[in-house]
A and B are shown apart, each in its own frame.
Chain A
């Protein structure tokens, strides 16, 4: 007996940005095109040090499938990445290494802190553990949980997408952004 064919008709396409369209051409805001492209092709750099990394593996695998958001390409070279995903406990000794990885990424770059440890030190209120990675690098989105479920990681990822979408092309040149970088000692 043959199974009925099911078509996946719930696919959501990225919307066309506002613009002026005619036959064979479209004129729109350059910023909108760039942010649309950036938003749907974020290359993540997984920086997984403990159990949150396992949840991330589930997120990247077929069931939760982070590739639906244009992020199937995990890069393990920071130079080609857009999004640094810090998952797990970062000890004080790991701090400079994390900062080095962040410095090697090219602008524009985003950071997501996944889990209680990366966000605040979590249960490790102790001499050897950094109390939140925002002490060494600026963080865009914090995902709570110990560890967070894959849905939560995806939600955090979608928040990053919103940020990427809304970010203007000149934000990284602004004085506020430079001030933020200077507060972390990054030129």
Chain B
């Protein structure tokens, strides 16, 4: 029998129970929220299980919700079962004051660069990552540019020549 979202959800609920919440299927893609501390356990289970076989990490990134106090940063994992061609997605939320999330590099090697990128733009501290340094931006940058705490038009910036732009 082909693998369906319902089977995936059932297996995950049997294993983790109440720790997984907010189940939904937007556009047919199974999505849920996991507790921050068990993110690697969930990934490992999805990878190892003989029926689920989610062995490809499509993408890993973060989202900043500035109004979601205490859980501002969401780290999103996109997984793909290449045998049955099923994709799922799950999120973990973390406090922006202490953005520590366990690294997925132990399960997926490809998480290495993706976590570096997520750290680069959102400042998520991936605990246990072998080389957590900036990957795309300049090394001297002292902020995380994709966080929503920066105005799009910053009037105080000095690298733009006002003479040319009539500000």
Quick check: is A44 within 8 A (CB to CB) of the other chain? no
Chain A hits for B164, CB < 8 A: 120
Q: Does A171 contact B (CB under 8 A)?
A: no
Within 8 A of B (CB), among A93-145: 93, 120-121, 125, 127-128, 130-132, 135
The interface size of chain B toward A, counting residues with CB under 8 Å, comes to: 12
Interface residues on A, range: 10 to 19
| CB-contacts of B67-116 with A (<8 A) | none
Q: How many A-B residue pairs have CB under 8 A?
A: 24
A93 to B120, CA, bound (A): 14
Q: Is the interface of B mostly helix, strand, loop or mixed?
A: loop
Q: A128 touching B161 by the CB < 8 A rule? A: no
Shortest distance between the CB of A88 and any CB in chain B (Å): 18
CB of B21 within 8 A of chain A? no
Report yes or no: A125 in contact with B145, Cβ–Cβ below 8 A: no
A residues in contact with B14, CB < 8 Å: none
Known: A92-B138, A93-B137. A132 touches B145 (CB 8 A): no
A131 and B137 contact, CB distance less than 8 A: no
Contact residues in A for B160 (Cβ distance below 8 Å) = 121, 125, 131
Interface residues of A (CB under 8 A from B): 92-93, 120-121, 125, 127-128, 130-132, 135
* Interface residues of B, Cβ cutoff 8 Å to A: 136-138, 141, 145, 150, 153, 159-161, 164-165
Interchain Cβ contacts under 8 Å between A and B, 12 examples: A92-B137, A120-B161, A120-B164, A121-B160, A125-B153, A127-B141, A127-B145, A130-B159, A131-B159, A131-B160, A131-B161, A135-B159
